[in-house]
């Protein structure tokens, strides 16, 4: 899995090396490193590192190791997206669908509704970080249950 780690490095020699060591020992393969010297605040330089980790456990171990070395991890964003199509037969409140998708850091890439009020069917394409796909689908399943609709996912 590809991840963008944003670290707050103190502007001293050798600090970046400590972070890179933690990534390496946990199997991470570094793709790129970007120093944001233009965004130095209170002596900290934000550094974005794109890394390919073998799995989410390795990522979590690396994050823990970096933080134990005294380097704050500001953000760990998964760069791999999952795209899935869903159908909601019976219809649900569309604003509630958007809210649940957004609150999980994902987005509704496409949405359409057919069948009018008598036989409503919503089709939506959801774009989400891969590791959140199951959580999103569970949340939408609950939404469908609450509103008497039937959720159909890709199988």
Partner 1 sequence: MLRCIIVGYGFLGKRLARLLASGAIGDIKLVGVASSKGYIYKEYGLMPGDLPDDLRFLSILKPSPASELIDKRITDLLVELTPTNIRDGEPGLTHIRLALEQGIDVVTANKGPIALAYEELMGLAEKSGAMLLHEATVGGGIPLISLKNRCLAADELLSIKGILNGTTNYILSRMHFEEMTLELALREAQMLGIAERDPTLDLEGVDTALKLVILANSLMNAGKRLSDVKIMGITRITSEAIAAAKGSGMTIKLIGIADEEGLRVAPKLVRLNDPICVHGTLNAVSFNFRILGRLTIIGEGAGESTVSALLNDIYEVVKARSRSNRI
Question: Which residues are near partner 1 by CB under 8 A?
Answer: 85-87, 89-90, 112, 114-115, 119-121, 123, 125, 150, 152-155
DSSP 38: G
Sheet order of strands, 150-152 included: 107-114, 121-129, 81-89, 150-152
Nearest approach, Cβ of 120 to partner 1 (angstroms)?
Answer: 8
Of 42 and 112, which CB lies nearer to partner 1 in the complex structure?
112
Nearest approach, Cβ of 125 to partner 1 (angstroms)?
Answer: 8
Helix (H, G, I), strand (E, B) or coil at 146: helix
**Going by C-beta distance under 8 Å and a sequence separation of 6 or more, which residues neighbour residue 22?**
62, 65, 66, 69
Nearest approach, Cβ of 108 to partner 1 (angstroms)?
Answer: 15
Of 42 and 118, which CB lies nearer to partner 1 in the complex structure?
118
Gap between the Cα atoms of 75 and 48, Å rounded: 9
Nearest approach, Cβ of 94 to partner 1 (angstroms)?
Answer: 15
């Amino acid at each position: 899995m590809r991840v963008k780690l944003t670290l707050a490095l103190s502007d001293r020699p050798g600090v970046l090396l400590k972070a890179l060591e933690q990534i390496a020992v946990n199997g991470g393969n570094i793709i790129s490193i970007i120093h944001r010297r233009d965004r130095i605040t209170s002596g900290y330089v934000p550094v974005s590192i794109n890394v390919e980790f073998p799995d989410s456990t390795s990522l979590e171990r690396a994050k823990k190791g970096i933080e134990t070395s005294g380097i704050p991890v500001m953000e760990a964003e998964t760069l791999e997206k999952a795209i899935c199509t869903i159908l909601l037969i019976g219809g649900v409140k569309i604003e509630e669908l958007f809210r649940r998708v957004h609150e999980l850091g994902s987005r509704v890439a496409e949405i359409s509704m057919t069948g009018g009020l008598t036989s409503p069917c919503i089709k939506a394409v959801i774009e989400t970080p891969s590791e959140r796909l199951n959580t999103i689908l569970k949340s939408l399943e609950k939404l469908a249950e609450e509103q008497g609709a039937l959720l159909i996912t890709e199988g």
